[in-house]
Amino acid sequence: MLSSSSRAFISVAPNSLSKTLISSNFVAKPRNLSSFSRQFFHLITLKCNSNRNHNHRKMASSVSTRASAQQLKNPDELIDSVETFIFDCDGVIWKGDSLIDGVPETLDMLRSKGKRLVFVTNNSTKSRKQYGKKFESLGLSVNEEEIFASSFAAAAYLKSIDFPKEKKVYVIGEDGILKELELAGYQHIGGPEDGDKKIELKPGFLMEHDESVGAVVVGFDRYFNYYKVQYGTLCIRENPGCLFIATNRDAVTHLTDAQEWAGGGSMVSALVGSTQQEPLVVGKPSTFMMDYVAKEFGISKSQICMVGDRLDTDILFGQNGGCKTLLVLSGVTNMEMLQSPNNSIQPDFYTSKISDFLSLKAATV
């Protein structure tokens, strides 16, 4: 049985293609597709990934098919078994604007062993360039090309489906998304400047919206308001074929290291509520960024270890990509959550923080 949102996507697809894709369970990528069909294939694949995540969460109380995570005891064995480490940022490298202990030395050690390091974040408030500056301000030397943020993923996704340049993107989110859309050559409206807008209601008032908006991108937004919800809702519901793209659905984020703050998932859920549609998620755990990284650097996914602090984004992202996975307890997940009978997402290994790579090494010498 298809969800109402799946039906909404299928209604924009050519009938024969939709039947093929649905009956083949979306496993194989059809060849020789027209640009429109390719776009639909991408939609349905990402949709499928985001549904899988949703189902995964729903099934979290059912029997786990994976062995329980093992505590990391011999980091060298893990380090030697892969050529690339993908690090999540918030909760692994930093918390808010505070660097987590031992990170610079750990990254230096991995680089000295010839490991490729890639940094992936679901936080869309900054562009790759802006994240480059954040790494620098924390004393970490990381190239822009090694950083993959969900703001970049939103623009890269639109490029991958040949999203028409004459269409506009309505943004509910911050500067990072706007910057990445500009770099990709897309016109955008909305963003922080709609943060001050209020709706003056009077009888018969009808809010106008731009009919050339072909995609609504929703990410973490500290300037979120009712105007934006209504504007995005009108575009998705009334502009034929308008895409609903979420950079991420994280429940919480670290605006500061002192507490957990409502994350990008809260803004996305407002639009899910009003449109009754599920978004295409381009951030973790969707495989879009993983596929992009693997292709960009020509890496085999079995040669990657994904390191993250969140089970339903980072660890699932690694597992969806067929990578090794390491959970660190320096962010939003604690031992109780990992071992809870309600959690079915088990990484290969867990440890308290990434600098355990150094201290455990010292202990085993």
Half-sphere exposure of 114 (CA within 13 A, CB side): 4
- Judge whether 110 and 79 are in contact, CB under 8 Å: yes
Q: Please report how close the Cβ of residue 264 comes to ligand PGA at its closest, in angstroms.
A: 5
Given 53, 248, 286, 320, the residue binding ligand PGA (CB under 6 A):
248
Query: Which one from 83, 146, 278, 296 is the annotated catalytic residue?
Result: 83
41, 53, 75, 90: which one binds ligand PGA (CB under 6 A): 90
Specify the stretch interacting with ligand PGA by CB under 6 A; choose among 130-138, 159-167, 245-253, 271-279: 245-253
The sheet carrying 304-308 orders its strands as 70-71, 349-351, 324-328, 304-308, 84-88, 116-121, 147-149
Per DSSP (E only), the strands in the chain are: 70-71, 84-88, 94-95, 98-99, 116-121, 147-149, 168-172, 187-190, 213-218, 243-246, 252-256, 259-262, 280-281, 304-308, 324-328, 349-351
CB of 89 to ligand PGA, least distance (A): 4
- Among 10, 21, 82, 88, which residue interacts with ligand PGA (rule: CB under 6 A)? 88
Do you find a cis peptide bond into 240, omega within 30 degrees of 0? no
58-66, 105-113, 168-176, 246-254 -> range binding ligand PGA (CB under 6 A): 246-254
CB 324 within 8 A of CB 82: yes
Tokens of 116: 């490729």
The region of 118-126, 135-143, 194-202, 352-360 touching ligand PGA under the rule CB under 6 A is: 118-126
Does 348 help bind ligand PGA (rule: CB under 6 A)?
no
83 is catalytic: yes
Residue 250 as a binder of ligand PGA (CB under 6 A): the answer is yes
- What pairing do the DSSP bridges indicate for beta strands 252-256 and 84-88? unpaired
- Residue 121 near ligand PGA by CB under 6 A: yes
Q: Which helix (H) or strand (E) holds 358?
A: helix 356-364
The whole-angstrom separation of Cα 132 and Cα 113 is 23
Candidates 265, 186, 276; CA nearest to 224 is: 265
Binding letters toward ligand PGA, positions 207-226, x by CB under 6 A: -------------x------
Number of residues in contact with ligand PGA, rule: CB under 6 A? 13
Residue 91 or residue 191: which is nearer to ligand PGA going by CB?
Answer: 91
Please tell me whether residue 264 binds ligand PGA under the rule CB under 6 A.
Answer: yes
Question: How far is Cα 319 from Cα 317, in angstroms, rounded to an integer?
Answer: 5
Residues 92/311, Cβ–Cβ less than 8 Å: no
Positions in 16-35 near ligand PGA (CB under 6 A): none
Residue among 90 and 146 whose Cβ is closer to ligand PGA: 90
Question: In this chain, which of 43, 69, 78, 89 binds ligand PGA, going by CB under 6 A?
Answer: 89
Q: Is 91 in the site for ligand PGA (CB under 6 A)?
A: yes
Distance of alpha carbon 234 from the chain centroid: 25
User: Which of these ranges, 15-23, 47-55, 86-94, 270-278, lies near ligand PGA under the rule CB under 6 A?
Assistant: 86-94
Residues pairing with 304 in the sheet: 84
Identify which range of 33-41, 45-53, 74-82, 115-123 contacts ligand PGA by CB under 6 A: 115-123
Active site residue ranges: 83
Residues in touch with ligand PGA (CB under 6 A): 88-91, 121-123, 220, 248, 250, 253, 263-264
